[in-house]
Structure 1
Amino acid sequence: MRTVFVTGTGGAGRTTVATALALAGARRRERVLLLTTEPADALAGTGVAAGAGVPVRAGPDVLASPGADVLAPGGPDVPVPAGRDVPVPAEDDAGVTGLTVVRVDSDADFRREFLSFQDRADAALDLLGAVPLEDGELTELPGSEQFALLRALKTATEGDHDLVVVDLPPVRQAIALLALPEQLRRYLRRLLPVERQAARSLRPVLAQLAGVPMPAQWLYETAARWDAELALVQALVESPDTSVRLVAEPGSAAAGRALRTARLGLGLHGPALDMVIANRILPTGSAEPFLAALSGRQQSAIKEWREEFGGIPVQEVPHAGHDPQELADLDELIDEPTGRTCDPVPGKGWTVEDRRADDGVLVWRLPLPGAVKEQLQLVRRDDELFVTVGPFRRILPLPSVLRRCTVTGAGLRDGELRVRFLPDPGLWPKGR
């Protein structure tokens, strides 16, 4: 299964490009899933919505949740009975058999997950004298959209798809989302260490002695379930079959800064970047001075992007002159190179180089394209390396061979961070 995350600058047409990419996959007779958090009225402007022949399912589950709405072709929104799937139409003139669009409803997801957790924590809440909250009084909290999308991605890993296209928020939020599974799993391991569960056999005795219920069992079980679900999403993000596609409208300094920020964040957190989409490109050679000047700025920006991103393809998508309303409009936007998924990209290549014979050290090589020395900070703490690049930070567990070493220095060369480790004689096996 190929997965393509689509992000970019705000207002650059990310949802339209993601939809067109999904449509191109469906045209190739692939089974395609498009995930988006955009509201239904925003999807109506992408050409895949009411009147376009493709139903939009409610998420985060691929099966429509109770009370969810589905955009019916050529008609008003129709409620879907609980637990029923929404069929994708058979082959038609539009040729979109196999395309499934799932709109992730973060509000419904938040209420469902909160009430489920409240039910599991019933004993602990009774102990505290808490009054349970009801569905009707719950309002979505900030950050719930990210968790809803993570759950939708987890569901996508269990599906039978050839291509999954994920319409992400703008760059900074998108990179934070992609880093979230690993970060949350680290928090769970620190706050609820697995080895502490060894005392489970004592909990019934402790509960009898104390005369109160002990909530630790359900807490550890919940943490284990969360960790397993997050592990699936993390594996999806780190898979060599997963990549990111950036969308930006060239011509402004802000777009260039956003792409450089994206390159830094993706270099640290991944996945690999497979394409940059220069969207809404004006034709060159216009007789109108204003349009000619704007087109010139766009072409200059595209040239800079191609130089800066090296081997990453920068594809131009022409300005349509209007918002796409039909599937045919999307066909005109995406040409063959832009509409295809790229070959699987290599992994990060974070390797340990053994140079003990020459220099007496081990070198951990971490590719960080776009990083500069002034924006880089490194801190070794126990068996972890804290790497900060610009506005991004990642806490990396050291490979086992480096945990018995001390850091002696680091250098950044040609977009690669090289951290030198000296084996600790007190910990390193003799003769090794």
Structure 2
Amino acid sequence: MAALTAVRTLLVTGAGGAGRTCVAAATAAAAARSGTRTLLLTGAAGAALDPLLPPAGTEGPAVSAAGLPQPYGVDGFDSLYVARIDPAASFRAGALDLQGRIGSLLAMLGAAPLDPEELTALPGADALAMLRALREAAGADAVWDLVVVDLPPVAEAVRLLALPEQLRRYLRRLLPEDRQAARALRPVLAQLAGVPMPAEWAYEAASRADHELDAVQAVIEDPGTAVAVVLTPGATAPATLRTARTGLALHGHRLAAVAANRVLPTGSADPFLAGLSADQQDALKQLADQCATDGVPLYELPHLGRAPQAGLGDGPAVPVAPPEPAAPGPHPPSAPWTVTDRLAADGWFVWTLPLPGATREGLDLVRRGDELVLDAGGFRRIVPLPSALRRCTVAGAALRDGALAVRFTPDPEVWPR
């Protein structure tokens, strides 16, 4: 795993249409006003942030790698920069870089290189562009104190954050380490054949990809990285928060804050507004109960009474520093992914996997070799078993108080006597 960074990263997700971009922008602006050198990283397309970005072709004050978003300073803020991700440019830069690295192989195969003009972004380019930008913005060479990332809605955001780990697993399966020794013979074979060996390019490309994914994963899993979920209190908000809690916990992400956006004032004389406010208060109580269970703060951001104006600072913000956990709720979750040795007393080990918000109906687990395939809340994660549990069999599992406890008993055929 790559080295940890000193950059704080706040990942902002939530329900579609809940005002994630506006809250992320206001949060970044609030941090910059306090003197924190802040980057707002967004993939949002539309007019909300257009006033913050200079006209096309204008040079910005900072320089980034090819294909990654150019950070631009924001007028009126000494410490605030904004970068909008361009998936097409990122994909084009990555494809051209790969094409340059395997030029000899393409020539051997008689393939004509692609021109930049004929490269168009493929499905999934948005996610890869966001990950590349996050790697650069919050990586070891970052110049920012805080990076606020405007992520897609909850389900898409959870899958995006899980992508580096998943892709690295695929690479290990396709090119396992036990085949690396055969690479020592490839230079000899290349000299005999007179051309580069294609398999060597595959190994080099896989190694480079693994290194880049490792850097992204290090940012995502860094203790200074936290997630804020933005919701508009309403009938669907509690279910969305449960989904977010389960998906984020399944992949080991820290939920630091929940923001209830566009909260209406209570006590209105207008019957219609009074009814809407009452519905919001019911939803807020359910959100507060979930937050209290996890020990996560809930921030109520008031409705502006109008549509937010384009730009920054026209809206409430959430605290930018990943906050300390609030007082633990009635059922505080166990330390994540812990193995408890109860072999002497009960004859088994217990692997505790915190899954707040999960239900038995949406939960499934399968032992596959030395891995556990876990489905929860519509999300899936495949995790390697701790070494001691690889010599055990699954004896049962129970979901209680927001945590999945999986029991393992030693396998007599492989357990040391």
TM-score range, shorter chain: 0.7 to 0.9
In the alignment, which residue of structure 1 is the partner of 2:148?
165
In the alignment, which residue of structure 2 is the partner of 1:401?
388
Q: Deviations over 1:53-107 (max 9, x none)?
A: xx9969xxx625679997xxxxxxxxxxxxxx85x47xx8x4x322221111111
Give me the identity figure in percent.
55
Question: Quick one: distance in 2 between partners of 1:417 and 1:24?
Answer: 39
Question: Quick one: distance in 1 between partners of 2:400 and 2:313?
Answer: 47
Answering whether residue 355 of structure 2 is matched by residue 349 of structure 1, we say no
- Give the 3-state SS of the residue equivalent to 2:393 in structure 1: strand
Q: Deviations over 1:192-243 (max 9, x none)?
A: 1233221122113334555653122222122111111111211221222211
Q: Give the C-alpha shift of residue 261 in structure 1.
A: 1.5
Question: Quick one: distance in 2 between partners of 1:101 and 1:409?
Answer: 50
Cα contact 2:26–2:314 (8 A) shared by 1 = no
Question: Quick one: distance in 2 between partners of 1:67 and 1:421?
Answer: 48
Answering whether residue 127 of structure 2 is matched by residue 129 of structure 1, we say no
Q: 1:290 aligns with which of 246, 251, 272?
A: 272
In the alignment, which residue of structure 2 is the partner of 1:63?
63
Range with greater deviation from structure 2 (321-330 or 142-151): 321-330
- Give the 3-state SS of the residue equivalent to 1:12 in structure 2: coil
After superposition, the Cα gap between the structure-2 partners of 1:184 and 1:341, relative to the gap in structure 1 and judged at 3 Å, is: same
Q: Deviations over 1:230-279 (max 9, x none)?
A: 1121122122221111111112x333332222122112113111111111
After superposition, the Cα gap between the structure-2 partners of 1:392 and 1:328, relative to the gap in structure 1 and judged at 3 Å, is: closer
The one-letter amino acid of 1:361's match is W
In the alignment, which residue of structure 2 is the partner of 1:278?
260
Question: Quick one: distance in 2 between partners of 1:66 and 1:231?
Answer: 20
Q: Give the C-alpha shift of residue 28 in structure 1.
A: 1.8
Q: 1:315 aligns with which of 285, 299, 307?
A: 299
Q: How does 1:102-141 map to 2 (within 5 A)?
A: 102-141=83-122
Question: Quick one: distance in 2 between partners of 1:292 and 1:278?
Answer: 18
Question: Quick one: distance in 2 between partners of 1:325 and 1:409?
Answer: 54
In the alignment, which residue of structure 2 is the partner of 1:339?
319
Q: 2:81 aligns with which of 90, 100, 121?
A: 100
The one-letter amino acid of 2:298's match is V
Gaps of 5+ in 1: 71-84
Range with greater deviation from structure 2 (36-45 or 105-114): 36-45
In the alignment, which residue of structure 2 is the partner of 1:392?
379
After superposition, the Cα gap between the structure-2 partners of 1:268 and 1:328, relative to the gap in structure 1 and judged at 3 Å, is: closer
Q: How does 1:170-209 map to 2 (within 5 A)?
A: 170-207=153-190
Question: Quick one: distance in 2 between partners of 1:329 and 1:427?
Answer: 63
- Give the 3-state SS of the residue equivalent to 1:309 in structure 2: helix
Question: Quick one: distance in 2 between partners of 1:113 and 1:276?
Answer: 35
Answering whether residue 132 of structure 2 is matched by residue 151 of structure 1, we say yes
Q: 1:244 aligns with which of 205, 224, 227?
A: 227
- Give the 3-state SS of the residue equivalent to 1:263 in structure 2: helix
Q: Deviations over 1:336-387 (max 9, x none)?
A: xx33423356996211100011001111111111111121111111110000
- Give the 3-state SS of the residue equivalent to 2:308 in structure 1: coil
The one-letter amino acid of 2:15's match is T
In the alignment, which residue of structure 2 is the partner of 1:77?
none
After superposition, the Cα gap between the structure-2 partners of 1:200 and 1:139, relative to the gap in structure 1 and judged at 3 Å, is: same
Cα contact 2:29–2:313 (8 A) shared by 1 = no
Answering whether residue 401 of structure 2 is matched by residue 419 of structure 1, we say no
The one-letter amino acid of 1:412's match is L
- Tell me the number of residue pairs that the alignment of Structure 1 and Structure 2 aligns: 397
RMSD: 2.6
Q: Deviations over 1:99-157 (max 9, x none)?
A: 22111111100011111112222233333332221111111111101101111111121
In the alignment, which residue of structure 1 is the partner of 2:4?
none
Question: Quick one: distance in 1 between partners of 2:405 and 2:246?
Answer: 16
Q: TM-score, normalised by structure 2?
A: 0.88
Question: Quick one: distance in 2 between partners of 1:420 and 1:213?
Answer: 51
- Give the 3-state SS of the residue equivalent to 2:202 in structure 1: helix
After superposition, the Cα gap between the structure-2 partners of 1:419 and 1:273, relative to the gap in structure 1 and judged at 3 Å, is: same
Answering whether residue 20 of structure 2 is matched by residue 10 of structure 1, we say no
Question: Quick one: distance in 2 between partners of 1:175 and 1:219?
Answer: 29
